[in-house]
Structures are given as structure tokens and as C-alpha cells.
Amino acid sequence: MSIVQPPQDYKVLFLDMNSFFASVEQQVHPELRGKAVGVTPYTGSSGCIIAASYEAKQVGVKTGTKVGEAKRIFPQINIIEAKPALYMVYHKEIKKVVESVTPYYRPLSIDEFMITLTPRERNAAAAESMARQIKEGIRAKVGDYLKCSVGVGPNYFLAKMAAESKKPDGFTVVELCELENFYSGLRLRDLVGINSRLEAYLVQSGIITPLQLFEASLPELRSRLNHWGRLWYFRLRGYEIDEYVSTSKTIGHSHVLAPEFRTKEGALSVADKLIYKASYRLRKEGYMAQGVSVSLHFVDRGSFHRSKKVASFDDNRSFKEGAFSLLSFCRWQSRPIYVAVSAFNLVRASGRQLSFFPDIERSKNVSEAIDEVNDYFGAGSIYPASMMEARDSAPDRIPFGKPRYDIIND
């Protein structure tokens, strides 16, 4: 990697919708305004809060809290089942507002946008004006209860950090001349991209604060973190080194099992549907995968994880065969509560060659035919018989954005 352009202030503007799913629910249902709201894909006690209103956060209910625990913390909390289609409608309306202000934007997730400021806009007045226009546009054209935090910085990392530093409805600028001050007020886990395992590794190696990480020399970071040390050295100093692609390096789905599916048969049926959904995304996004992974969590807190590399595929059958061959190693010693499948090592399908094996080509053709029927008549119009039991399980979900440069994954 070559670091070509030196960092420059006011280069990136980052927009982060505050408690987006919960705020949309409060926008649509005025009776929920001013009240604690938790949005979850599954409203049972084992469901997980994926968005908490600020009223909920004030009483101790945060993103990641289990529904049962949220009700124990604050019995009056309003638990709402997630509505992905509704949130996507609001995302598209917010996107229109952003587009009306600047053409140089990129959606990073359903609740995040990155804007590259033009040379003429790289100053305090222009950046603040743009942030104000977007905020006012969202309030006037999308919803008066929706708020966003805006951060401005020399690169994506610092712009996002700036937005994270003041919520809700904040506007924060981080300039190159104040990096030392900025980092001195943070913890390692506050840095986007540092998870618990990386934090523990850094602390063990003597780096306890973001300021120490910032002040470490390039040779020191390279010796501790190898290639990643170089990336962090330049990232923390405002160099633009991160790639902003909306496509992921993996495509997969996961689901917390409803009580009636917490059996081996139920989990396999749900896994079948998750595979079906993920392989559909592979084809629609123009990818083939060269790896398959599966994960299971159990009620006794046990877990099972397996992955393997396979021949390139984008069809339902190949994905299922790879995943189920891994699941055959599971001992199922307890009731399953969570299942996840994913395809990794993605490559563009544009350069794909026909397979020598007719059954693989036949499976691909069948998968594409099923896609055409479902695209025309609606999702789920036709599906494999093996998926019948779990047809209504694992409905479509919309994920939040996440860091694209974790060094050590949780």
C-alpha cells in the first residue's frame, strides 16, 4: 500500500442517524415519543435489542441487551418487533435529502452516509452549512423526530469518530492540529475497529490508551501488529487508507431461534432458509464464494463453529451441501438457540467459467429459475420442500454498519 496524499482537514463528512430503528418507530407512532423503546428481531425474552431509544438508554437498556433483561431493568419499556421494510423506506427518503445537498455521498449502511467534501467545501463554514442543510432537510422532509450526528475529519475514521463523540443531534469537527487532545479523552474501545480481543492484546503489549497508540512510532506498531500496525499508524494521523465498499467480504445470515425451533431438526430447517437467502444474495450481488462457515450457539452457553474452503459456487445446492457437511460434525449435546451461515472468499462471478460437471450447472440454472419466480411473484412464492417448516422463520433483517477494518474479530 502506498500512502500518496497527505492528510487534509475537512475532507470527509460522516452522517450517523441516531437510534435509527427506534427513532423511526417513534416517528411513526407518536405515542412512543418520550418513552423507552427497544427494537428487536424477536420479541421473546431471548431476543436481542438491536436499537434502543435514548429514553431506553437513560434507564440502562442498550443495544445488545436481551429482551428479558431489558424488561427486568425497566418493566415499562416498549418492545417493538423490527420492521426492515419500513426502515428501508426511511433510509431512501434520507438518501434523497443527502443527494439534494451533495452528489458526492455514499451510503455505508442503512443508518450511515459518508460524504467526500470538494476542495471548495473543505473549510469550517462550508462543512457546518452542509451539516445544517442535511439536518434541516431530514426534519422537514422525512421526520421531525429523526436526529443525526455529523462528524467532519481528514479521513473516514476520524469523521466517524467525530460523529460518535456527540450524540444525539451533534456536530463535531476533528482537525489535525487537535489529534493529541482528541485521543487523550478516549478509551481504546472507543476507537472504531478496536474490539475486546484487540484491546486486550494492546494492553498486554503496553499500549493502554488511544494517545499511547497515536504516539507509538511506525516501527513499534509494525513490530507489534505487523501490516496492521502500519495501517493504524497512518489512520490515526488522518491519512485516508480505508476502502469504502458497500459489498462485504462475506455474505451470510444468522437467526436467534424461536422456542419451537430449538431442536436439531428445527435448527437445520432454519439453517436451510438462511442458506437459501444468502445464496440468493450471492447471485444478486454478482459474487461466487470459495468458502463456507457455520455457527451454532446452545442454551447451555456451548457453541459450535466450523468453516472450510470449497470449489467456487453461487447456487443453493452447493452452499447447502458445504454447510450441512460441516454441521454433520456437531454433537448436539444441548438445545440450539442461534444459528448462522456464511459464504466467504468472494470473487466476482463475471469471469466465471462453465463447470465440467453438468449437475453443478443444472443446480445453478435451477437456482436462477427460482430467483426469477420469486422476483416476479414475491419472495417465498417458491422454495425447497426442506425449508417448509422454517418458511416463516428468519424474516429479512437490515444490519447496521460496522467497522470495515477489525484486526482481530470477536
Which of 50-59, 116-125, 358-367 has the weakest average pLDDT? Answer: 358-367
Assessment of whether the complete model's pTM goes beyond 0.85: no
Same domain membership, residue 226 and residue 114: yes
Is residue 25 exposed (0-12), middle (13-18) or buried (19+ Cβ within 10 Å)?
Answer: buried
Query: Would residue 3 count as lying in a domain?
Result: no
Q: Give the model's confidence band at 370: pLDDT under 50 very low, under 70 low, under 90 confident, else very high.
A: low
297 and 312 assigned to the same domain: yes
Write down the pLDDT at residue 109: 85
Rounded-to-integer distance, Cα 297 and Cα 7, Å: 44
Residues 125 and 199 both lie in one domain: yes
Cα four-point dihedral sign 407, 221, 158, 148 = positive
**Strand partners for 80:** 39
Asked if residue 268 is part of any domain, the answer here is yes
Q: What is the pLDDT of residues 20-63, one digit of tens each?
A: 999 999 999 999 999 999 999 889 998 899 999 999 999 999 99
d(CA 99, CA 137): 11
Q: Are residues 229 and 267 in the same domain?
A: no
Higher pLDDT, 118 or 285: 118
How would residue 362 be classed by pLDDT, with cut points 50, 70 and 90? low
Summarize pLDDT for 134-153 with one digit per residue, the tens.
999 999 999 999 999 999 99
CATH number assigned to the domain comprising residue 67:
3.40.1170.60
Interatomic CA distance for residues 12 and 113, integer angstroms: 11
The whole-angstrom separation of Cα 63 and Cα 40 is 10
Neighbours of 60 (CB within 10 A): 13
User: What's the rounded Cα separation, in Å, for the pair 201 and 406?
Assistant: 13
**Per-residue pLDDT, 356:** 37
Say which range, 91-95, 308-312, 335-339, 352-356, has the weakest mean pLDDT: 352-356
Which has more confidence, 102 or 378? Answer: 102
pLDDT tops 50 at residue 195: yes
**Cα torsion through 26, 27, 29, 33, rounded to 10:** 40
Cβ density class 28-57: b for 16+ within 10 Å, e for less? eeeebeeebbbbbbbeeebbbbbbbbbbbb
Mean predicted lDDT score pLDDT of the chain? 86
* Closest by Cα among 318, 364, 360 to 341: 318
List the beta bridge partners of residue 347. 288
- The answer on pLDDT for 375 being more than 60 is no
Q: Map residue 279 onto helix, strand or coil.
A: helix
As a whole number of Å, the end-to-end CA separation of the chain is: 26
Q: What is the pLDDT of residue 243?
A: 53
CB contact set of 208 (below 8 Å; sequence gap of 6+): 188, 202
Residues across the chain: 410
Task: Tell whether 204 and 153 lie within a shared domain.
Answer: yes
- At 3 the pLDDT is 54
User: What is the share, in percent, of the chain residues with pLDDT greater than 70?
Assistant: 82
Average pLDDT over residues 166-182: 96
Is the pLDDT at 374 greater than 80? The verdict is: no
pLDDT of the residue at 142: 98
Domain membership of residue 245 (yes or no) is no
For residues 78-98, average pLDDT? 95
Shared domain for 274 and 369, answered yes or no, is yes
198 shares its domain with 276: no
Q: Which of 209, 236, 263 is the last residue of a domain?
A: 236
Supply 207's cell numbers: 499500549
C-alpha span between 194 and 207 (Å, rounded):
13
pLDDT value at 408 more than 50 = no
Same domain, 220 and 254: no
- In a domain, residue 4? The reply is no
Domain span at 255: 250-390
- What's the CA gap between 98 and 106, in Å, rounded? 10
Q: Is the pLDDT of residue 389 over 70?
A: no
Listed range (47-56, 97-106, 235-244, 267-276) with the worst mean pLDDT = 235-244
Contacts of 163 (CB under 8 A, 6+ apart): 14, 15, 16, 149, 150, 151, 170, 172
Model confidence band, residue 402 (pLDDT cutoffs 50, 70, 90): very low
Please report whether residue 126 resides in a domain.
Answer: yes
What does the pLDDT read at residue 106? 87
Name the grid cell of 178. Answer: 487537535
**How many whole angstroms separate alpha carbon 395 and alpha carbon 392?**
7
At residue 397, does pLDDT exceed 70?
no
Is pLDDT at 387 greater than 80 in this prediction?
no
Give percent of the chain with pLDDT exceeding 90.
65
Q: Report yes or no: 240 and 11 within 8 Å, Cβ to Cβ.
A: yes
What integer pLDDT is reported at residue 46 of this predicted model? 86
Is residue 354 exposed (0-12), middle (13-18) or buried (19+ Cβ within 10 Å)? exposed
> What does the CA dihedral 246, 252, 258, 262 come to, rounded to 10 degrees?
-160
The CA distance from 318 to 316, in Å, is 6
C-alpha cell, 385 = 420442500
Q: Is residue 408 part of a domain?
A: no
Q: Is residue 243 part of a domain?
A: no
- The C-alpha cell at 408 is 482481530
Q: What is the CATH number of the domain that holds 373?
A: 3.30.1490.100
Which residues, 6+ apart, have CB-to-CB distance to 218 below 8 Å? 229, 230, 233
pLDDT at 384: 57
pLDDT tens-digit readout, 217-257: 999 999 988 888 888 999 999 998 875 444 446 899 999 99
Burial group, residue 157, by CB count within 10 angstroms (0-12, 13-18, 19+): buried
